[in-house]
Structure 1
Amino acid sequence: MSLSILSFYEGDAGVKWLFYFCSLILNRQIVTQEHTRSGYFFLILILGALTALAPFSIDMYLPSFPAIAKDFGVEQARVGLSLSSFFIGISAGQLLYGPLLDRFGRKTPLILGLLVYIVASLGCVYAGTLNSLVILRFIQALGSCAATVASVAMVRDLFPVKENARVFALLMLVVGASPMLAPTIGGYAAAAFHWHAVFIVLGAIGLLLLLATILWLPESYKPDTTLSLKPGPIIQSFWTVATTPQFYTYAFTGAIAFSGLFAYVSGSPQVFMDVYHLDGKTYGWIFAGLSIGFIGCSQVNSILLKRYESKQIVPVALSLQGLIAVVMAVGAWNNWLGLTSLLVLLFFFLCCMGFINPNTAALCLAPFTKNAGTASALMGALQMGIGALAATVVSLYDTHNAVPLAFTMCGSSLLAIAALFSGRRQIKTTVAADKGSAVLSH
């Protein structure tokens, strides 16, 4: 899909002129890598907010699942399809924006993406059917993806290489706060003003980010008009990355394992609010509390990397996650899981994810220097695409128990183990992951 869009950009002069016209309006200038202290933190604040836009868009409306299902007259599990479509949109957008950011500079695609996001958010407010909400969430994801991809690229542009690790660490703290804040805010907004208010808030956030981007975010990259957006060169670049054994081993291992988190995000509203009869506010607090496991262990990972390599940490964490997932699946099948036991298992499952995700990301990017951007985009697309599949599987079953969620999470863990041990046989020499990257790539 994304390649056909890129081909359209290559051949349509009107679209090119739209990009260049926006560039002229901005009267942008390429900035140096020197900043005042106040400007330094202000840039990080804007880039962090851009990075957190997609996670906020995912987490904030989760407590509204019962209200949306009631309004549209569908089973609550079916509302998860709007989450799956968002994941698919992010997956497609990962491949779309990389070439556009290099061809037209950073700010112009970012501004157009934010405009798409704002319009789609307002469209979600007036969605009259579940199908229309699913489509609008896909479009909203395409817009939010511009913020995610552009913010990462601009960190590399605006800050010296030696500062990148610290900057990315600060950005990841902002992203890590999203699952703690967004569901709680969304729960209270929906309870006070109905679920439509959630998308009004998201649209307002998009508008604020648009204004901040236009007024204060500097252009960091000169457009490369020689870059081709034709499908051939793009496909060749992706193929070179995809056929590297170390990349596909750890990219698929990480993406399949991470899909368990997508299953949890998609299935948890039904499990907690339908099966265990918790209200939206309580669910938001539980979601926030469980996220501490993932966030905390991703930071503990940086300490472990002082003594162990990423390739040593991944199989241990993945094996523990698989064991936890098997216990959860058996418990759910036999109806042994109370709320407390389920919360404990989910917490430790997410703890393992905090070790798996940053290390597999670092390992699959380690072999690349020239094609690092392409590798990053492909890794993100795989992660979101497989995650969307897992979220869809959970959404298709309305069994009023935790079985679909537990079995999907168990299946993702066991498949990830199989991918790791089968793929490692094809790697002749493992390129060591940079420890800074392993800490930050989550």
Structure 2
Amino acid sequence: MKTIKAEHHNIATVLSFALIPLSGFATDVYLPSLPAMATSLHVNNAAIQLSLLVFMVSAGISQLFVGSLLDSFGRYRLSNLALLAFALSNFVTALYPDIYVLYGMRIIQGVTVALIVVAKRAYFMDTFSGEKLKHYTSLFSIIWATAPIVAPFIGGYLQASFGWESNFWFMGGFTLLILLLTLIYGGESIKQLHAFEVKAIVNVYGSMLKTKDYSLSLMIIGLNYGMLMVFGMASPFIIEHVYHASPVITGYSALMSGVALMTGGIISKAIIAKPLIKKITVAIGLQLAVALIMIACSTVYLGLYVMMGFVILLHLIAGFIFNNMFSYSLGRFSRNAGIVSGLTGGGLYVITSFFSYGTVSILAVKSQVLLGMAYLVLVLMSVWMFAWFRKASVHIVKEESVVKAAA
């Protein structure tokens, strides 16, 4: 079994961080191309948006199970095979432009991304502990936020210069490069393999999901990331069809959205020591206020700049909430790193895909006002879930009271 050489640990860590945002990259890179893809493949908007849902559901469901495989058979070989399959599926998508080929390849990409991302998250839990692990896990959502910043920015220019197929050629080539570097500098990180016992694994999943504060934190994470996905699915059509802007502008808009998400994560990390319940209460209250103001203003003031102003504020707050709750979820259980990583990431994707696609479809989001309504629906559900989370997290309230008293 190939292990990571001591002198290669820093490079292996950088490569692992580089793959953390792969799931977002695989979706966000072709967001500016959605209208062009719908035209090229002769399908309606909903059919092309469905390719996003297919990917997220397959990635989410896969993450629920791949964690146990990675704990039992190791991270290195499985993630390398997944990188190769992911690259090839992107090449097939570019070579055979057909909606059903797209759906099939997106399923393969979802499954392989699940293996890759869960393995790389588990690498940190295998390698680090204590405050250093907490430091790295708090960086996950910040690193993850590079995808909605960089990917649509690149995708907008690729679409404008070479067409939508170039997005998939780019993703396949990038993945092969990372695979080559991983083969040179990477290795197995797990120290002890766990026996693959289905009953025991099911029991672990069951005990985690029965922990109310953990399950509710997953719902809050999913709803907040769902805001980003709602914007990703609806904004290309609003920007390019309603405001008659180019795919490059769609890319820039998504870039600003991603910067806002990352900024929220950075602010979250800066005040990581502050009481969790208090800061999330304030953040959700602000989120609700901004969503209501967006709807009110959108009945009078319409325009790309107005819309993006509210989007940036909402996504900044969503990034703040996401980072806090994601770190909380990953730190809730210390054993079976692969399983908790997979369950957290998988649960997030399933919840996000269900609520984001459902909201966009039911409200038929094709305007600034309806986008505001979609945000409000997700925020209200987040408020409800957080109210239950507070009740289920009595131990956090007690700990924060002790810390406050000691201070």
When the two structures are superposed, what TM-score results if normalisation uses the length of structure 2?
A: 0.89
Of 235, 241, 244, the match for 2:211: 244
Q: 1:84-143 deviations in whole A, cap 9, x for unaligned?
A: 111112201211220111111111110121122122212211344323312321211211
Partners of 1:256 and 1:415 within 8 A in 2: yes
1:33-432 equivalences under 5 Å are 35-36=6-7, 39-159=8-128, 161-168=130-137, 174-221=143-190, 224=193, 226-228=195-197, 230=198, 232-306=199-273, 308-332=274-298, 334=299, 336-370=301-335, 373-393=338-358, 394-395=360-361, 400-430=366-396
Distance 2:140 2:364 in 1: 37
Partners of 1:266 and 1:395 within 8 A in 2: no
- Name the SS for the 1:57 alignment partner: helix
Partners of 2:149 and 2:255 within 8 A in 1: yes
Residues 373 and 110 (structure 1 numbering): CA distance in 2 closer, same or farther, change over 3 Å? Answer: closer
Residues 209 and 96 (structure 1 numbering): CA distance in 2 closer, same or farther, change over 3 Å? Answer: farther
Q: Per-residue deviation at 1:387?
A: 1.1
Q: Per-residue deviation at 1:366?
A: 4.4
Aligned residue pairs, count: 399
Q: 1:51-109 deviations in whole A, cap 9, x for unaligned?
A: 13222111111111121011112233431111111111220121122011111111111
**Superposition RMSD in Å:** 2.6
Distance 1:55 1:225 in 2: 29
Residues 279 and 43 (structure 1 numbering): CA distance in 2 closer, same or farther, change over 3 Å? Answer: same
Instruction: Report the residue type matching 1:323 in the other structure.
Output: A
Instruction: Report the residue type matching 2:229 in the other structure.
Output: F
- Name the SS for the 2:395 alignment partner: coil
Q: 1:355-390 deviations in whole A, cap 9, x for unaligned?
A: 211222233444423355434432322211121123
Instruction: Report the residue type matching 1:67 in the other structure.
Output: A
Residues 169 and 321 (structure 1 numbering): CA distance in 2 closer, same or farther, change over 3 Å? Answer: closer
Distance 1:339 1:396 in 2: 23
Partners of 1:241 and 1:374 within 8 A in 2: no
Distance 1:372 1:221 in 2: 10
Instruction: Report the residue type matching 1:126 in the other structure.
Output: L
Match of 2:3 in 1: 30
- Name the SS for the 2:20 alignment partner: helix
Match of 2:404 in 1: none
Residues 84 and 329 (structure 1 numbering): CA distance in 2 closer, same or farther, change over 3 Å? Answer: farther
Match of 2:405 in 1: none
Instruction: Report the residue type matching 1:410 in the other structure.
Output: L
Q: 1:137-171 deviations in whole A, cap 9, x for unaligned?
A: 12112112222111111122234655434545666
Residues 74 and 397 (structure 1 numbering): CA distance in 2 closer, same or farther, change over 3 Å? Answer: farther
Distance 1:379 1:431 in 2: 23
- Name the SS for the 1:370 alignment partner: coil
Match of 1:16 in 2: none
Partners of 1:50 and 1:148 within 8 A in 2: yes
Distance 2:331 2:143 in 1: 25
Partners of 2:84 and 2:179 within 8 A in 1: yes
Partners of 1:313 and 1:359 within 8 A in 2: no
Instruction: Report the residue type matching 1:30 in the other structure.
Output: T
- Name the SS for the 1:344 alignment partner: helix
Name the stretch that deviates more: 152-161 or 195-204: 152-161
Distance 1:155 1:53 in 2: 16
Distance 1:204 1:420 in 2: 42
When the two structures are superposed, what TM-score results if normalisation uses the length of structure 1?
A: 0.82
Residues 225 and 399 (structure 1 numbering): CA distance in 2 closer, same or farther, change over 3 Å? Answer: closer
Q: Per-residue deviation at 1:336?
A: 3.9
Partners of 1:297 and 1:354 within 8 A in 2: yes
Residues 336 and 283 (structure 1 numbering): CA distance in 2 closer, same or farther, change over 3 Å? Answer: same
Instruction: Report the residue type matching 1:382 in the other structure.
Output: G
Percentage of pairs with the same residue: 25
